[in-house]
Homo-oligomer: A and B are copies of this chain.
Amino acid sequence: MSRKEFRTLADPEEVRAAIDGLALGGGTETVDLRAARGRVLAERVDAEVDVPGFDRASMDGYAVRARDTFGAGEAAPERLALAGAVHAGEAPTVTVDPGECAEVSTGAVLPEGADAVVVVERTEEIEVDDGTTIEIRDAVAPGDNVMTAGADIAAGSRALGAGRRLTPREIGLLSALGVDAVPVRAAPRVGIVSTGEELVRPGEDLDSSRGEIYDVNSNSIAAGVEAAGGEPVVYPHAGDDYEELERLLRTAAEECDLVVSSGSTSASAVDVIYEVIEDRGELLCHGVSVKPGKPMLVGRLNRADGGQSAYIGLPGYPVSALTIFRMFVAPAIREAAGRPEPASATIDGELAVEARSESGRLRLLAVGVADAGERRLVYPVDKGSGATTSLVAADGVVPIDPDTDYLSAGESVTVRLFSADVSPPSLLGIGEDDPAVDRLLDALDTPRYLPYGSRAGLARLRDGLPDFAVVAGPADDVDAVSVARWHREWGLVVPAGNPADVSGLADLVDRDLRLVNRGTASGLRTSLSNAVAALADDRGVSRHDIVEAIAGFESAVDAVETPARRVDDDRGDAGLGLRSTAERLGMEFVPLGEQPVELLVASDRLERSAVDELREAAAKLPDRCRSVPGYRFGGE
């Protein structure tokens, strides 16, 4: 294999400088004011009209010559003859001569002659022989209760400067000026090209036997581009073929200000991209000393007209791609779109567990954040390269500088939240994968639950990390309070009709049948081990003998439904699982026992209000689980 090695990695500052040097659009376009929210003014807007356009009554009342009211008061009212009325939206047909007044409503044009308004509350209408007289019980000065033409903003005045972000308030002012279209910074067009033979568009059929996976980056990067103020243009994804990639990148370069590819994770595809950029543009950086994210490219792509578009190549793994996008690309798009950098959203906390880093590269450690009463705990979220669930299980990153290779538990760290509006989950739970827990979570506001198994739940509870753990089986030696307890029926899930006629564990030992087992972290595995031990005792053999006789015992899967699904998929004869799973999937169930499951809240979290919600939800759980077969609440 020949591969491009990223031996000399650029440091983040060099990459930033290279990206700063790319031109990412920055033009101007005119948009309808109705569609302008969130956009950024490209040019200063001056008022072209006076606002208001006329001397305007700002209260309901009577337009007067102020001079006529001098000395008027509650005790000494002045009487003025009513000459007529002016309402908002009509041209005055009346003139106010000395000794006269005119009824005006708020917003009306002040009639000629008048220079002030007396509010209606300080007047009284009196019928007299020759018409109507108004008793004025207030002295006003010229201009009182009148907004003179241009007093709000005068024609020719600077109204809003370039660079101003348009919120409902700016849109209001522009409306007042009669503006219905505004020049705004053009959103840079960002072409998105995912590469990899294995990619399939979400919504289409997937052939896993060919190693196909859904294309994650096209959608997530497009959403990121949009959030940064760019206009994403998603291109079909491309394989590793030079011709195809070259054609696609050339098209994207013609149509966009910036082309962002996300490399296939294999080095061979990176090679091809590399080659295309070198042949059809110029490469400014390759490789950045950030983890995750090493295989990053920065350059330019030539256009037919002699111009160039900017080009940035992201790594293929979704977490890496989004991390690099967020760190380097989003700021450049915001800059081009004239959007302000979002307020830096950082929070401090202490590491709940130790963290290791590879020295020599800036590590962006994906972490979750948990509130532990007074303290705020930060824990790494890392299911390994390529895991997409890390995308949503983390709240932000802790940058670990290249000289640091170890952070101990308890160390203070600063978390850079993914965005200012990320709010860490209200509750953190760790433990058994269980359908009742899913229903519990549905009843909570913003929980986070890591289904890492009963063993992990207990261990982390002892470490002081989660608010609660869900433990199937014994839960000793832990400073926690049980807030709910249920039993679930466990056993072997077999295909509908039970074709192999499995009746119990002994069949797996004695016959040529294949088990799909769960991992050792799971409480179900513990129950199975106990059943194995009992069978060994019965038969007077060692447990090892029994285990050795069960094909598939040692290779295990992580999730509660997976063994059943594998069996359904003809990849085993019996799967360790729950009655509820069997019924949900239309399969058959061979019961082996009932297992207690407990919801344990850490004693030091009992005062948290989110824990009150958890207790309430737990109290309603029997109701919510009424339709789940094989579940029993209360009792022993």
* Residue positions of A touching B, CB distance < 8 A: 1, 3, 33-34, 37, 44, 49-54, 56, 58, 60, 86-91, 103, 105-109, 120, 125, 142, 147-181, 196-204, 206-224, 226-227, 234, 239, 264-268, 316, 318, 322, 340, 342-343, 383-389, 391-392, 418-421, 423, 433, 438, 441-442, 445-447, 449, 451, 555, 557-562, 565, 581
Contacts and interface: CB of A to CB of B under 8 A. Distances in A.
B211 A90 contact: yes
Contact of A176 (B147, B209, B318): B318
A561 B173 contact: no
A110 to B, nearest CB: 9
Contact of A88 (B211, B215, B423): B211
Contacts of A156: 559-562, 565, 581
Contacts of A219: 33-34, 171-172, 174-175
A557 B148 contact: yes
A37 B91 CA distance: 49
Contacts of A213: 51-53, 56, 107, 176
Contacts of A33: 202, 219
Nearest to A585: B156
Contact of A322 (B160, B172, B385): B172
B559 A157 contact: yes
Contacts of A37: 223, 226-227
B51 A197 contact: no
Given A105-B268, A152-B383, A198-B107, A206 B220 contact: no
A217 to B, nearest CB: 8
Contact of A60 (B3, B108, B226, B565): B3
Contacts of A202: 33, 174-175, 177-180
Contact of A208 (B54, B215, B220): B54
* Max count, chain B CB within 10 A of own CB: residue among A44, A109, A212, A451: A212
A420 B168 contact: no
Contacts of A264: 88, 107
Given A157-B433, A206-B49, A173 B388 contact: yes
A449 B175 CA distance: 21
A152 B561 contact: no
B392 A169 contact: yes
A166 B392 CA distance: 10
A421 B342 contact: yes
B386 A150 contact: no
B154 A561 contact: yes
A227 B178 contact: no
22 contacts: A37-B226, A37-B227, A44-B442, A52-B386, A56-B211, A88-B198, A105-B267, A106-B316, A108-B266, A147-B386, A152-B388, A153-B389, A157-B559, A157-B561, A170-B392, A172-B216, A173-B389, A174-B219, A178-B200, A181-B203, A342-B421, A343-B420
Nearest to A422: B167
Contacts of A60: 1, 3, 266-267
Closest 9 CB pairs of A and B: A180-B203, A89-B197, A53-B208, A154-B559, A156-B561, A172-B220, A89-B198, A168-B223, A176-B388
Copies of the polypeptide in the assembly? 2
Nearest to A199: B89
Contacts of A383: 151-152
A154 B557 contact: yes
Given A107-B265, A171-B219, A420 B420 contact: yes
A420 B417 CA distance: 15
A239 B89 CA distance: 9
Contacts of A50: 208, 562, 565
A179 B200 CA distance: 12
A107 B211 contact: yes
Contacts of A142: 555
Contacts of A239: 89
A199 B105 CA distance: 14
Contacts of A446: 161, 163-164
A336 B106 CA distance: 35
Contact of A180 (B91, B201, B340): B201
Contact of A89 (B86, B210, B227, B389): B210
B451 A157 contact: yes
A391 B171 CA distance: 9
Contacts of A107: 196, 198, 211, 213, 264-266, 316
Contact of A340 (B163, B423, B555): B423
Nearest to A200: B178
Contacts of A557: 148-150, 154
A158 B34 contact: no
Contacts of A220: 168-169, 171-172, 175
A105 B272 CA distance: 15
A561 B343 contact: no
Which of A160, A173, A222, A557 neighbours the largest number of chain B CB atoms within 10 Å of its CB? Answer: A173
